[in-house]
Amino acid sequence: MRVGYVQFAPEFGEVRRNLDRVGELLAHGRADLWVLPELFSTGYQFRSVGELSELAEPVPEGPTTTRLVALAREGGFHLAAGIAEKADGRLYNSAVLVGPHGLVARYRKVHLFYEERNLFAPGDLPFSIAQVGGAKVGLLVCYDHLFPEAARTLALLGADLIAHPANLVMPGLGQLTMRVRALENRVFTVTANRIGTEARTGEALRFTGLSQVVAPNGDVLLQAPQDREEARAVEIDPARARDKRLTRLNDVLADRRPEFYHLA
């Protein structure tokens, strides 16, 4: 199975242009599962709830999910991507997983970052996994990376791979924690981060690139540069993520002692 990321610089509000750019980048690579950044079709820095509401879309009827499904059908692959979702009058920072036959899974970002808290409703769907070819895939969005409980929940549900659309702005942080999330759960992770800068609210945000694919032992199998667009993929064996042994006598999921954990 080949998995990869699409790292690029979305232009704020230019949905058609951003979808076209993803299509161009995908034409140069080959994968079974591609991961795109958080909010890849709209850009990130909304000035108001009103502006977000104008750009947010119903899923799967909206133009972004419709185009993703068309790309998946043409290319015979799956795509995981961040999207501004409008549902029942609420706005979510969501991720969709689509394949050639349509929407496969939807996730609404549980841990909202910084000004997102003033724009989006917090996610209200349970973590879940979906089958993509030979792999079970779970979704997280950006800042979810800092909550080990989120990745652990996906691992306990049986995820082989965590697809992680991101708009990371704190240099090196999410790239580091996703290596730890991979190794502590013995799963693959694919983080697709964006590049470029947005300064629409008087505060400049610089997105840090360095998209990556990480193996269940924490090794970085692929990493993008900080400042260049690219779509790249690597061959993985999802079965590697089903071996949770660290040593002959240790299995990182079976060794858990949940009776000692205070999670509420």
104 part of the interface to ligand ACM, by CB under 6 A: no
Length of the chain as a residue count:
264
Out of 79, 168, 182, 241, the residue judged to bind ligand ACM by CB under 6 A: 168
Q: How many helices (H) and strands (E) does the chain have?
A: 5, 16
Site for ligand ACM, residues 35 to 74, rule: CB under 6 A:
38
Using CA of residue 58, residue 64, residue 67, residue 71, what is the dihedral sign?
negative
Q: Output the smallest distance, CB 169 to ligand ACM, in A.
A: 6
Q: Output the smallest distance, CB 82 to ligand ACM, in A.
A: 9
Out of 22, 26, 140, 169, the residue judged to bind ligand ACM by CB under 6 A: 169
Q: Output the smallest distance, CB 64 to ligand ACM, in A.
A: 18
Q: What is residue 261's three-state secondary structure?
A: coil
Q: Could you give the count of Cα atoms lying within 13 Å of 99 in the half-sphere of its Cβ? A: 10
Main-chain dihedrals φ then ψ at residue 52, nearest 5 degrees: -60, -45
Site for ligand ACM, residues 214 to 253, rule: CB under 6 A:
none
By CB under 6 A, which span of 162-170, 208-216, 217-225, 243-251 interacts with ligand ACM?
Answer: 162-170
Angle at CA of residue 101, ends 64 and 26, nearest 5°: 55
85 part of the interface to ligand ACM, by CB under 6 A: no
Main-chain dihedrals φ then ψ at residue 91, nearest 5 degrees: -120, 125
32 part of the interface to ligand ACM, by CB under 6 A: no
Provide the binding-site residues for ligand ACM, judged by CB under 6 A.
Answer: 38, 113, 142-143, 167-169
